[in-house]
Amino acid sequence: MTGGFTVAIDGPAAAGKGTVSKAVAAHFGFAHLDTGLLYRAVGAKMLAGTEAIEAAQTLVPEDLENDSLRTPALAQAASKVAVIAEVRAALLDFQRSFAARAGGAVLDGRDIGTVICPDAQVKLFVTASAEVRARRRFAELSGKGHTDSYEQVLEDVKARDARDMERVEAPLKPADDAAIIDTSDLSIDQAVAAAVAAVLAGLDASTGE
Ligand code: DC
């Protein structure tokens, strides 16, 4: 029943979309792809000396199985390679085939509902204020032993927002038909409950067709 059922979850850095996406995938038994990892893996290869477009064209799934992709340096590198049209084009097919897999899929990123899966059955845009997101990211990084100050983290969040939203290729923005979930004043449980309710409504609508 759920073959090709796609949940597209977009939003800015540290809004909670990773947590919400994992919880939604677990709740419904869908596969989950964190598409930011694709750009981070390209960014890592670029920092290691491979030209960004070539890195994207030669990316293999094993490149995503690297625990060190989630550092602040690779977040910025990912956001930089993500402005390159040829990099985005090289990553398109992988994301679309993942979305089309039988059994349902959740993809989270910046352009899933707008460009990668414009026909997704459910589209969510998970957001929060820059200050709330920086506070969360600061707590997460401090817990992992990173020494960046809150001010530095806030500056990074704002720099990445600007680059992701102002780029010409697939800029970060909600799809016209996306449901907005602002997690600024929500607990994780409340944010997940809102997302699960939206997916249930989408499943009802698609079985009723
Ligand atoms: O979700 P993330 O923080 O891991 O993403 C890192 C960067 O990758 C993000 O700042 C912009 C880019 N990205 C993108 O352009 N499109 C996506 N679908 C996912 C991420």
Mean pLDDT of the chain: 95
> Is position 30 within any domain?
yes
> Is position 44 within any domain?
yes
> Is position 1 within any domain?
no
Task: Name the domain count of the chain.
Answer: 1
> Is position 208 within any domain?
no
> Is position 207 within any domain?
no
Model confidence at 80, in pLDDT bands (50, 70, 90)? very high
The tokens describing 100, both together, are 């089309």
Give the model's pLDDT for residue 205: 92
pLDDT surpassing 60 at residue 2: no
Cα–Cα distances in angstroms (integers) from residue 183 to residues 41, 43, 139, 162, in the given order? 28, 28, 16, 20
> Is position 115 within any domain?
yes
The tokens describing 28, both together, are 């419904």
> Is position 23 within any domain?
yes
Whole-model pTM?
0.94
The binding-site residues of ligand 1, defined as CB within 6 angstroms of any ligand atom, are 13, 35-36, 39-40, 75, 78-79, 82, 109-111, 160, 164
Closest CA to 110 of 93, 127, 98: 127
Structural domain for 169, as ranges: 6-202
Closest CA to 118 of 150, 154, 92, 144: 92
pLDDT in tens, 125-166: 999 999 999 999 999 999 989 889 999 999 999 999 999 999
State the pairing for strand pair 122-127/179-182: parallel
Give the model's pLDDT for residue 186: 97
Q: Are the C-beta atoms of residues 104 and 31 closer than 8 Å to each other?
A: yes
Mutational pocket test of ligand 1: of 9, 20, 21, 35, the residue with most ligand atoms within 8 Å of the beta carbon: 35
> Is position 116 within any domain?
yes
Q: What is the CATH number of the domain that holds 126?
A: 3.40.50.300
10: CA distance to ligand 1 center in Å?
10
pLDDT in tens, 168-197: 999 999 999 999 999 999 999 999 999 999
Give the model's pLDDT for residue 209: 61
Mutational pocket test of ligand 1: of 22, 39, 137, the residue with most ligand atoms within 8 Å of the beta carbon: 39
Give the model's pLDDT for residue 146: 87
Closest CA to 54 of 92, 97, 96, 86: 86
